[in-house]
Amino acid sequence: MDAIATEQAMETVLKHWKDSWQQAKQVWSPFVKLREPVWCAASGQAKNEGLTGSFAMIRLNDHRIVIDLEKVLQEGVSDYPVEILAHEIGHHIYTPANLHENAVLLSRIRWCLADIEDRAPFVANLYADLLINDTLQRKKNLQMAAVYQKINQQGTSTSKVWHFYMRTFEYLWKLDRGALGAKPKKQDPMIDADASLAASLIRSYAKNWLEGAGRFAALLYPYLIKDKEYEKARKIFTIYLDAEYAGEGGGMIAGLVEIDEEGLAGIIDPRVEAANRAGNKDAGGDAFGKVEAGGEGPRQRYLNPGRYIDLFKQINPKADEQELLNNYYREIALPHLVSFPLEAANPVSLSLPEGTESWDISDPMDEIDWIETAVGSPEIFPGYNTVKRIYGSDIDDAETKKPLDVYIGIDCSGSMGNPRQRFSWPVLAATVIGLSALRAGAKVMGCLSGEPGSFMETDGFRTSDVEVLTVLTSYLGTGYAYGVPRLETPFGKPAKDKSHVVIVTDDDIFRMLGAVNETTNISNWVTMEKALVHAGGVGTLVLHSQPNWHREEVLRLKKMGWHVYYVTNEQQLLEFAAEFSQNHYSVRTDD
Amino acid sequence: MIDIYTLFYHLKSCPEYFFHCPPLNRGVVPHTEVLLKDMYRKVHGDFSVQDAALPTLVNLWQYDENQLISMQVGCWLFHHPFFAGKPSWVTGIDFFLNDDLQALSPFVQAREWVEDEDRAEEFIRLALRKCGVIPAGETALEAADRLEALDTLKRQAVLRGSQASYDRIREIRRKMAEQKAREASNVYGRE
Amino acid sequence: MCMAENKKPAIGLNDAERFPLLSDLSFLQQLRQDEFAPRYNFQSGDRLEATHLEKVKAYAHIITNASTFWQAGGTPDWLEQYLSWCRNTIPFYEARPDSFAAQPTIGRKDLLAAPWEFVSREAPLEELLVYQTSGTTGPAMDVLFDPVSQACWIPQLQSILQQHGILLDAAPDKVAIALICSQQETLTYASLSTYLNGAGVLKLNLNPAGWKDPNDRLLYLEKYDPQVLTGDPFAFLDLMKLEPALRPKVLVSSAMKLTAGVREKLEDYFRCPVLDIYSMTECRMVACAEGDRYRAIRPELYLEVFDKDKDVALPYGERGELVITGGNNPFLPLIRYRTGDFCSIEMEQGIPYLVGLEARLPVPFYTLGGELVNNIEISRAMMELPLAGFTLHQDKNFRLTFTGWSDEAIALAVQTALQKVFKTGIAADIAIHPVAAMKEMKVVNYTSAFEL
């Protein structure tokens, strides 16, 4: 085709497809609200939209569909605008429909793809396509089969996944073997058996499709386990993959840290199910690809942080790892935080006039200070130049009522695990205290220290949970204990605002206390004592140790005013944190 | 000639009556037997035909409930006018209801023959084959292939095979992971 | 800070489980607790049960008594039966044609992709053991085996020694074999051989860091004076530098080719034969050097030579890639496995000889201080990085040229790793290419301007 003819063909196609948009929406419902697709006349343009490989794609975060018309022409499917557009709309309103369900879908599929979790988006896309196309072909009477036939004319493959997939449609739509263009050289009874199970799965879970996701993944697992087979499958499916990155650019999605019990219950291999139904009890139980990863953290109810980050990166490749890690510990800490101060209980009388501020129409009429208002202007316009008097408390309660800030120092030395790779109790405890304090309106300074070696701390006392969490969830793995000289930074001088001090460490702290700061020549014991005085709040040393060890040193600390809280296992750290938060940051209406 | 879909819709409309299965009682003619004889007479085309001219009923007591209901569903299928007055098919039908359904009964619940699309199609195709009928619009080869694709017995055999091999692979991989974590990963003699 | 939570689970065996057939383990305790003993970092046993031991003995009988393996122009008589056994019990070979001539070759990548597919359905999984290769010649790979095929390395060694008129003294209070390493880090242990009636087997690292006192290395070795020393040429050279007063019956060099110069040096010093063995993790010892060729030692291995690129078997005398069929490992039976090593085959009275075998020439690298660097060290360091493969060359000015294939930005990590192995100050040019650009299958390649 010469250039002019190509251009004309493109224009015709564009018009045809634009005209079909309304009809495609009608297929699902007259109430579908979706913006018109981004039409790309050239594949280069489509690429800029993030579309490569296929002729269409969807984005859940901005509810868009992108169509590459150049590729539509190439693949010979320009006569099927309604089919293809309705398919893309199906991703938006049926499956995966939104960012949250997309996330749950991927998370469930991952549980059934042991060691090949990276293939979850591929499996999710195939699953969603099956559900949508079966609905469109059988319930909406669109010619989805014809679209497959057209595309498959462009080339075939020896991929078993592809044969299995096309065979599944043949089962669903009662078509002859090979009707969609996938004609294997040798008939494989296993593909027939699996496709038959897949077809019945698609029919059974058309409504509750999230519940069938694990089963579908389990069915596909043996086909994808070998790299070579997976690569082969990707090659032939490239043209169909329109929703693998549907979640890209979406924000944080809550609720994925906790292990999805319903999802776990769906890790079932339909093959096993079928065999068991026939009373064949020795057919084994577990799905072949079941991930054997236990829960971590409180009551072992949470994903491993590494797995959580992997999952989220798969949902949204652009997600920021640090943000994810912060969110991981934040979500686990949430049930242990003090409740939000719903009402600011302040029974003290406000009797000291402190000045005036403008009175608004919505304020009670009797609050208007007429004298002050008149002083300001002889003409009174309520709501414009009216003022009211404001009062302050007549007792200086800054010390008694305002929650104290908190300094949290965490030992992050050699043998402490990386909180990014394994759930960390010390980090959770610190998160509970830190977030509770922030909720109560206090400021927080966090410090990780593994010394001698390195440390990391917030820039003073902060009010931002992101800043605090980012420090607390980091990892050093150096030295042997929390570095006592770190206390010099906030408490070298008497603190302006009083502060609690919490240090989480173990026995090795006594070795550290026995040392002398090389530059200042000051004993760490002295620093420790001075810090507490300067902080002015409660000092607590959370010690992973036994009460009968280091008795003398502990006595010395207690004399300085330090509280020593012993923990013998890591879970007790959480108990301490919840208790501490409750004591210092919970809103009590009775005082 | 008849096409699959016609029978499909007929089967789907199977009345609830055919799913009843009162317990077999001595001295009472079983529900299944009543339905069978009625259906055979219809197929025979002669309602006055003697019991002796119908297929000898095997002892229904040997069958479990699922098998009996499956047979009754079969009775409903063969009630379709297409089968009426075709005495030569009686032997095939007898074979289908007894032998075929007995083999299938452990794997398929009677209701699935009506409610599950693939099982309904399998049921019809198998029944037609026993009568020597090729569905309209299909060649003998096509019909055979369609039936094979739906064959429950064959699928079960394949699944047993693949399941065994997946179980084995999973076991090997579990062992490998365990071994790697263990000291045995380095018995002596390795450089 | 040390909290119980983060420690990995250690499921250990005890000595009785490691040596089910040995009732007296006092020699083992002696070897471990000796005042000069190294700080062993590992415990190891052969885990041989009575039925296993019988099989090892039966294997020893076959391997020492086979006078002809197969006749030129023919194939071994076990081959057809072996093939049909593979086709019947091993998933990977299930769909294979039934004639041996029609079998395609397989390679490392097949083993890498799905090692479980090579496990015979008859192999009892409770006997499965795993060895992860360090990846000297490719990416790390899991090799599966069982206690019997594992223990058979001693009969294999014995059959070679027998050819040279050397007899192992299988006495329960003697050290029969010591594996000598000279690496920054490796597993070390003292163990016993059930097959050798409880004689000692040691794995030692010459790196002084693993000993209470550097001098203990000599004192310990000299005290137990192992009958056989095995190791790679680098380790032997390091051992020689310590000038130990040892009287080994034989030195057995493996893992890489032994050059004539090194052999002479070692023979002069230790005053015993130095044997050069061609072996590989996938099927252990294959052949032993005799003059300028290698004599095959395993009657249950069928050796062929194939075209490098095409699946065409080459006639005797023609040079190509060595391809192996057979073995006694039920977890990894091989059919036409490409070894990645090149040679031609000559048959002589029913025994195959490998001619011009070009296998893993030792490539010497040096630190700026003139210290020899074993390339195992480099492989080990690179194993930590996400590399699909790499090549490393050192020129006369000690400058390193590193080319790696990885989809991650790891140049800096490579630099750090090289500085660690070569100590500080070495100059290195590093190029990282995407994995897709990697063409050759043999993915680790060392070259050096120096000679050993």
As a whole number, mean pLDDT of residues A468-480 equals 90
DSSP string for residues in C418-444: HHHHT-TT--EEEEEE-GGG---S--E
Give the per-residue pLDDT at C439.
62
DSSP string, C83-114: HHHHHHH-GGGTT--SSGGGPPPB-HHHHHH-
Rounded mean pLDDT, A64-93? 95
Residue A339 within a domain: no
d(CA B131, CA B137) in angstroms, rounded, equals 17
Q: What percent of chain B has pLDDT over 70?
A: 94
Residue A66 lies in a domain: yes
Residue A266 makes CB contacts below 8 A (sequence gap 6+) with A108, A211, A212, A213, A214, A215
pLDDT at C6: 32
A507: confidence class by pLDDT, cuts 50, 70, 90: confident
Looking at residues A186-201, what average pLDDT do you find?
93
Answer whether residue A326 is part of any domain: no
The C-alpha of B159 sits at a distance from chain A's nearest C-alpha, in angstroms, of 6
Both A372 and A454 in one domain: the answer is no
Residue A366 and residue A498 in one domain = no
pLDDT tens digits along A410-440: 998 876 788 998 999 999 999 999 999 999 9
Give all strands (DSSP E) within C228-379, no chain letters: 228-231, 250-253, 274-280, 284-290, 293-296, 301-306, 320-326, 334-348, 351-358, 365-366, 372-373
Q: Is the pLDDT of residue A399 over 50?
A: no
- Are C11 and B182 spatial neighbours (Cβ–Cβ below 8 Å)? yes
Q: Total domain count for chain B?
A: 2
For residues A488 and A379, membership in a common domain is answered with no
Indicate whether B16 and B62 sit together in one domain: yes
Question: Interface partners of C (3+ CB pairs, < 8 Å)?
Answer: A, B
> Which member of A228, A411, A425 has the closest CB to residue C5?
A425
Residue C384: CB partners within 8 Å, gap ≥ 6? Answer: C417
> Could you tell me if residue A282 is inside a domain?
no
Give the CA dihedral B165, B171, B174, B176, nearest 10 degrees. Answer: -90
Cβ-based contacts under 8 A for chains B and C? 81
Predicted confidence at residue C449, as pLDDT, reads 85
Chain A neighbours (≥3 Cβ pairs under 8 A) are B, C
Q: Of A394, A414, A446, which closes a domain? A: A394
pLDDT number for residue A590: 43
Query: Both B107 and B184 in a single domain?
Result: no
Q: Given pLDDT bands bounded at 50, 70 and 90, which one contains residue A103?
A: very high
Which among B175, B187, B188 has CB closest to C125?
B175
pLDDT digit string, tens, across residues A199-231:
999 999 999 999 999 999 999 999 999 888 999
Across C247-274, average pLDDT: 90
Range of the domain at B175: 152-191
Q: Domain check: are B104 and B187 in the same one?
A: no
Say if residue B25 is in the same domain as residue B110: yes
Banded model confidence at residue B90, pLDDT cuts 50, 70, 90: very high
CB contact under 8 A, B186 and C187: yes
Whole-number pLDDT of residue C41:
84
Check CB contact under 8 Å for B155 and A222: no
Q: pLDDT-based confidence at C4, cuts 50/70/90?
A: very low
Q: pLDDT band at residue A340, thresholds of 50, 70 and 90?
A: low
Chains touching chain B through at least 3 C-beta pairs below 8 angstroms are A, C
CB contact under 8 A, A544 and C113: no
Exposure of A155 by Cβ count < 10 A (0-12 exposed, 13-18 middle, 19+ buried)? exposed
- Between C389 and A113, the more confident residue is A113
Q: Cβ distance A388 to A428 under 8 Å?
A: no
pLDDT of residue B161: 86
The pLDDT value recorded for residue C260 is 81
Q: Verify whether the Cβ–Cβ distance A275 to B163 is below 8 Å.
A: yes
Q: What is the pLDDT of residue A343?
A: 42
Q: Which residue has the higher pLDDT, A546 or A343?
A: A546
Question: Which residues in chain C touch residue B184, judged by CB atoms under 8 angstroms apart?
Answer: 13, 47, 129-130
Q: What pLDDT shows up at residue B190?
A: 36
DSSP-based three-state secondary structure for A172: helix
Give me the phi and psi of C281, to 5 degrees please: -60, -40
| Nearest beta carbon to residue B163 from set A177, A192, A271 | A271
Task: Say what the pLDDT of residue C10 is.
Answer: 39
Cβ(C150)–Cβ(C129) below 8 Å: yes
Q: For residue C404, what pLDDT is reported?
A: 86
Mode of pairing for the β-strands spanning A64-68 and A350-358: unpaired
Q: Are residues B36 and B124 in the same domain?
A: yes
Is the per-residue pLDDT at A23 higher than 90?
Answer: yes
Going by pLDDT thresholds of 50, 70 and 90, the confidence category of residue A11 is very high
Among the candidates A240, A259, A290, a domain finishes at A240
pLDDT of residue A280: 53
| Mean per-residue pLDDT over chain B, rounded | 89
Are C42 and B183 inside 8 Å of each other by CB?
yes
pLDDT above 60 for C403: yes
- Asked whether residue A407 falls in the same domain as residue A538, the answer is yes
- On whether both B72 and B88 belong to a single domain, the answer is yes
pLDDT in tens, A32-66: 989 999 999 999 999 998 898 899 999 999 999 99
Please write the tens of the pLDDT for every residue from C119-153. 999 999 989 988 876 555 556 678 899 999 999 99
C179 interaction partners in chain B (CB closer than 8 Å): 188-189, 191
Q: A370 and A469, same structural domain? A: no
- Best mean pLDDT range from A17-21, A226-230, A285-289, C188-192: A17-21
Q: What is the pLDDT of residue C344?
A: 94
Q: pLDDT over 90 for what percent of chain C?
A: 56
B102 lies in the same domain as B85: yes
Classify strands A562-567 and A536-544 as parallel, antiparallel or unpaired. Answer: parallel
The shortest C-alpha distance from B48 to chain A (Å) reads: 41
- Is the pLDDT reported for residue A366 higher than 50? yes
- Give the pLDDT band of residue A97 (cuts 50, 70, 90): very high
- List the structure tokens of A534: 């300067």
| CATH number of the domain enclosing A541 | 3.40.50.410
Of A32-46, C24-38, C39-53, C362-376, which gets the smallest average pLDDT? Answer: C362-376
Residue C333 in this model has a pLDDT that exceeds 90: yes
pLDDT at C5 over 60: no
The parent domain of residue A39 ranges over 3-240
Pick the last residue of a domain from A201, A224, A240: A240
Average pLDDT of the segment spanning A127-142: 97
pLDDT of residue C11: 46
The pLDDT value given to residue C8 = 34
ipTM beyond 0.95?
A: no
Looking at the structure, do residues B95 and B177 belong to the same domain, yes or no? no
Longest dimension (CA), chain A: 100
Report CB contact under 8 Å: C11, B179. no
Percent of chain C with pLDDT over 70: 93
Give the total number of structural domains in chain A.
3
Residue B94 and residue B129 share a domain:
yes
A504 and A390 both lie in a single domain = no
Q: Which two structure tokens, joined as six digits, stand for A162?
A: 């592809």
Show the beta-strand stretches assigned E in C297-373. 301-306, 320-326, 334-348, 351-358, 365-366, 372-373
Nearest-Cα distance to chain B for C297, in Å, is 18
- Pair (B146, B176) in one structural domain: no
Q: Cβ C128–B179 below 8 Å, yes or no? A: yes
* Burial letters B53-81, b for 16+ CB under 10 A, else e: ebbeeeebeebeebbbbbbbbbbbbbbbe
Residue C332: predicted pLDDT: 96
Considering the domain architecture, whether residues A364 and A454 belong to the same structural domain is answered as no
Are residues A433 and A580 in contact, defined by beta-carbon separation less than 8 angstroms? yes
Same domain? A381 vs A424: no
Find the CB nearest B149 among A177, A269, A277.
A177
Smallest CA-to-CA distance from B191 within C223, A150, C256, C302 is with C256
Q: Is residue B33 domain-shared with residue B81, that is, in the same domain?
A: yes
Q: Nearest by CB to A278, from B107, B142, B154: name it.
A: B107
Number of Cβ atoms within 10 Å of the Cβ of A503: 24
pLDDT in tens, B109-143: 999 999 999 999 999 999 999 999 999 999 999 99
pLDDT at position A401, please?
62
What pLDDT digit, counting tens, does each position of C229-258 carry? 999 888 898 899 999 999 999 999 987 778
Residues A520 and A555 in one domain: yes
Mean pLDDT of chain C: 88
Say what the pLDDT of residue A347 is.
47
Angle, helices A189-204 vs B117-130, to 10°: value is 130
In a domain, A258, yes or no: no
Query: What are the structural domains of chain C?
Result: 15-43+167-272 (no CATH), 50-153+278-358 (3.40.50.12780), 365-448 (3.30.300)
pLDDT at A342 over 70: no
Mean pLDDT for the stretch of residues C303-330: 94
Task: Please indicate, yes or no, whether residues A412 and A388 belong to a single structural domain of this protein.
Answer: no
pLDDT band at B155 (very low <50, low <70, confident <90, very high): very high
- Chain B residues with CB under 8 Å of A189 CB are 154, 158
Pair (B101, B190) in one structural domain: no
